[in-house]
Amino acid sequence: AGMGKVVELSKALSWLLRHAVVKEGLQFQADGYVFVDDILRHPSFTKYTIDDFHECVEKNEKKRFGLKTDEITGKEMIRAHQGHSIQDLDIDMREITDPQEFPTVLHGTYRKHWSSICNKGLSKMGRKHIHFAPGLPKGAGVVSGMRASADLYIYIDMEKALNDGLKFFVSSNNVILSPGNENGCIPTRYFRLV
Ligand code: HQG
């Protein structure tokens, strides 16, 4: 398939797997996986083939998706590794306990949000977690965990945040995720100057 079709499929899968499986009436497992066959039958996906799915997973620049074979049925399943708004999911993520493991943890955002972020801290907004990258994108490339279009980077003092009991996790595609405090926020006192 052409790159245009692959990117279009990546966007459609991000929408479905992160936000819409419930409202679209699709079955999903607690770990976020959905049967590929069920998706191929969905009206928005009938133009795609199983090969398009494989290509989309492999070529994805942020390694957004993962495939597995269901042990019971032997059928292929797909999930998004992070970025969900659906609440009833329990995706295996490793907790970060050593602040030295990720010396640089940053959130990519936009200057237009800065005054609001200063008031409330960084918020998970509509998602389950606030997203962070373990470093800046290399060269002109992209890094999982932040948007390439970000024009403001907020660095986190991991030592201070972990000491104060804030939780951070790493997803299978190396995105750093935090549910924030009881308000779903990382307060500004955990930001650091670089
Ligand atoms: C901002 C992409 C006002 C926040 C990326 C962001 C990521 C606030 C937006 C993943 C705020 C939320 C998630 C506050 C945060 N006031 N604005 N207090 N706190 N914000 O889409 O991090 O390419 O939910 O900075 O790489 O942009 O889709 O989060 O601008 O990993 O795989 O509110 O999406 O991954 O937007 O993006 P989002 P995000 P994919």
Minimum-distance ligand 1 atom for the alpha carbon of 18: 28
**Residue 183, amino acid:** N
Q: Which amino acid residue places its CA nearest to atom 17 of ligand 1?
A: 113
Whether the CB-CB separation of 158 and 92 falls below 8 Å is answered with no
pLDDT attached to residue 156: 98
Nearest CA to ligand 1 atom 22: 131
Atom of ligand 1 minimally distant from the CA of 131:
22
CB atoms within 10 A of CB 2: 7
Query: Which tokens is 163 given?
Result: 């000491």
Supply the ipTM of this predicted assembly.
Answer: 0.98
Tell me which of 131, 143, 151, 155 to substitute to probe ligand 1's pocket, judged by most ligand atoms within 8 Å of the beta carbon. 131
Q: How far does the centroid of ligand 1 lie from the alpha carbon of residue 62, in Å?
A: 15
Ligand 1 binding site (Cβ under 6 Å of any ligand atom): 14, 62, 64, 83, 109-110, 113, 116-117, 120, 122-123, 125-127, 131, 145-147, 175
Other Cβ atoms within 10 Å of 117 Cβ, number? 19
d(CA 122, CA 113): 10
Question: Model's pTM, two decimal places?
Answer: 0.94
Cα separations in angstroms, 99 against 13, 39, 105, 136: 33, 39, 10, 18
Residue 131 alpha carbon to ligand 1 centre in Å: 7
Residue 64 alpha carbon, nearest atom of ligand 1:
32
Mean pLDDT by 10 residues, the chain (194 residues): 92 98 95 97 97 96 96 97 93 95 97 98 97 92 95 98 98 97 98 92
Q: How many CB atoms lie within 10 A of CB 181?
A: 16
List of long-range contacts for 115-120, beta carbons under 8 Å, 24+ apart: 117/154, 117/188, 118/188, 120/183, 120/185
Helix (H, G, I), strand (E, B) or coil at 169: strand
Nearest-10 Cα torsion for 157, 160, 165, 169 = 30
Q: How close is the Cα of 64 to the center of ligand 1, in Å?
A: 15
pLDDT at 88: 86
For residue 134, the 8-state DSSP code is S
